[in-house]
Amino acid sequence: MTTKRFILNSSRTSKQGSLINVGKDSEEYKALTNSMTMAAEDMAEIGIAEGQRVLIRTEFGEAPFLCESGKIPLGMIFIPYGPPTCKLMGGDTDGTGMPTSKGWEVEVVPLA
């Protein structure tokens, strides 16, 4: 297995909107916010199987996620906002109140 750097984009999903009625402590919400999506070709290149856990590292921190393949551009990963993504963000908001959460260069490390 190898590591490679990718561009991370994160945002809220429509499924998160519907799960807010169930609650952020629900297993469904936790499963959603603890998963990431990347192109199947990128997964194969660095030796990640569907459903495998990976570690995402930024200059600010790291967090584990369950990897799923999806319709994502090569070289990019997507993670829904949630408690795990907070571990990846710095504290600077550039006056917006929300830390930068898109366009980060991150390392994806396959976990055994």
Which is more confidently placed, 96 or 40?
40
Please give the span between the terminal C-alpha atoms of the chain, in angstroms, as a whole number. Answer: 10
Query: In this predicted structure, what is the pLDDT of residue 4?
Result: 78
Query: In this predicted structure, what is the pLDDT of residue 93?
Result: 55
Residue-averaged pLDDT of the chain? 83
- CATH class (in words) of the domain with range 4-110: mainly beta
Write the CB contacts of 87 (distance below 8 Å, at least 6 apart in sequence): 60, 61, 62, 63
The structural domains of the chain, with segments of one domain joined by +, span: 4-110
Which is more confidently placed, 39 or 90?
39
Global pTM exceeds 0.85: no
Cβ distance 107 to 57 under 8 Å? Answer: yes
What is the pLDDT averaged over residues 6-34?
76
Report the distance separating Cα 13 and Cα 109, nearest Å.
24
Q: Which residues pair with 82 in a beta bridge?
A: none
